[in-house]
Amino acid sequence: MSTRKTTIALAAVALVLSTAAPATAASSALAWAPCADHETAQCATLPLPVDRADPGKGTFGMAVARIPATDPGRRIGALVVNPGGPGASGVDFAFKSEALFPEEIRARFDIVGFDPRGIGASQPIQCASGLVRGLAAATPRTQAEFDRLVADNRALRDDCRARSGPLFDHVDTGAVADDLDDLRIALDEPVISYFGVSYGSLIGQQYARQHGDRLRAAVLDGNMDHSLGLTDFAATAAGAAEDALAEFASWCSVSTECALHGEDVLARWRELLAAADEGKLYEGEPTNPSSPWYVLQTAYGNLSRADLVGLGRFLASLHIGTPEAQPDSAVTTASGDTVSNGRLPVLCQDWDMRVADQGQLDRLVAAERAAAPNMRYSTELREAWLGCAGWPSEVNNPPATARVDPRTPTILLTNPKHDPATGHAWAANVHRQLPTKTALLTYDGIGHTAYPWSGCVRGLANAYLLDGSLPAPGTVCPAG
């Protein structure tokens, strides 16, 4: 889901592969020009409707970049890529294609990236920076605190909406899937291949649902499960983070590279968090107090990057004691400065995360804690469902059982067994819902998404993209 590290999920689907003819000149909707930030990439802006049901709301420009196939005579077609987030730039992701993909993929495909609506250079959602900074970081514990959260959320939403115009209400992934098909048309491609990572996997799933007959292949790496209600969503996200922490503890018990080797890692973890709860934890020097959120978020980031050595060093740098008092930061409200803030509107328009009151919030926290007694919760998802409290009840693209167009080729799902952000259970559940339209490839390791960490996964995913060959059912790539 989230993407603090650019990762990749290759897209490839099945038996129409070799039959896709090289594309002719792109339609006049795309006026390609050299990109300022890349030597070989071409950039363009695709005008698209804000709301396909109401043309009166106008258009926005979707930023697009492509890196042409290096062997045009053997070109298969376009491989559209998205790094997820939500909020990450697909244009920047395409710029990194030389580091991400092997030479054969880059020879046979145009690598195409786009910034989804409201993100990056595609009319980004703008909000007052002071309102973003002023949001409460702590989870409410009383109804009064919950009411304050709702009021702050509504003030932020109203500000973002006023600054961003009609597009603010139309950044859900269903709309993005339609944008992707309009991009396919503008590229003059009969079908596309797709490589989506983390939240980009949901774009791929949605595209297969709405335009699956136009999909040649899709690799979805680090999978979202859009069938989940809020309680299951929060609990399974917390459980994924808990599982990754347990895997880290197991690694520490056998690896001398771990700074906590020889200790009871989970007992030490609980001790550190308990100290943070009491305001008695600091990192390095007493001038650096460490909150529970900071500890959890830092650990989550290390686990997502598969940086187990780094996580061990971080935990070893934490000390129990009384931090030195720090001056209070001024609380800022609305100001003239703005920041891009497209992530939250996407999440609130894709998921029914409207917590009604403190009672429901307490039940959610209990469900998370039951699934994750040590890790407590997923910091990413906790931030999301807190941020959506107070939003209107309507959800543009509500969760639903996974389904795809019957003409969709087989999609390759790849996922680590110990992914702290998009747990393996999500990928397995998508596969259970689409048993004849997906193949599941598991990486028996830790980290967010599988393609960056496993040569085995990369080899099988690349083969699928190139010739449509799928791994045998139940294939598991070894860790390391």
The domains of the chain are located at 17-121+171-227+400-477
Looking at residue 55, its pLDDT comes to 94
Dist CA 449 CA 459 (whole Å): 15
Q: What is the pLDDT of residue 27?
A: 43
pLDDT of residue 136: 61
What's the confidence (pLDDT) of residue 17? Answer: 31
Cα 266 to Cα 56, 252, 261, 270: the distances in Å are 57, 10, 12, 6
Does the global pTM surpass 0.85?
A: yes
How many residues are present in the chain? 480
| Helix, strand, coil abundance in the chain, percent, nearest 5 | 40, 15, 40
Residue pLDDT tens, the chain, 480 long: 543 333 333 333 222 333 333 333 334 479 999 999 898 999 999 999 999 999 999 999 999 999 999 999 999 999 999 999 999 999 999 999 999 999 999 999 999 999 999 999 999 999 998 888 767 668 999 999 999 999 999 999 999 999 999 999 999 999 999 999 999 999 999 999 999 999 999 999 999 999 999 999 999 999 999 999 999 999 999 999 999 999 999 999 999 999 999 999 999 999 999 999 999 999 988 888 999 999 999 999 999 999 999 999 999 999 999 877 655 544 444 556 888 889 999 999 999 999 999 999 999 999 999 999 999 999 999 999 999 999 999 999 999 999 999 999 999 999 999 999 999 999 999 999 999 999 999 999 999 999 999 999 999 999 999 999 999 999 999 998
> Counting runs of H as helices and runs of E as strands, what totals does the chain give?
16, 14
Count of other CB atoms within 10 angstroms of residue 444:
16
What is the per-residue pLDDT for 284? Answer: 86
**Start-end of H helices in 194-307:** 199-211, 230-254, 265-277, 292-304
Domain 17-121+171-227+400-477 has CATH 3.40.50.1820: yes
Residue 335: predicted pLDDT: 53
Strand partners, 371: none
Cα 468 from Cα 14, distance rounded (Å): 4
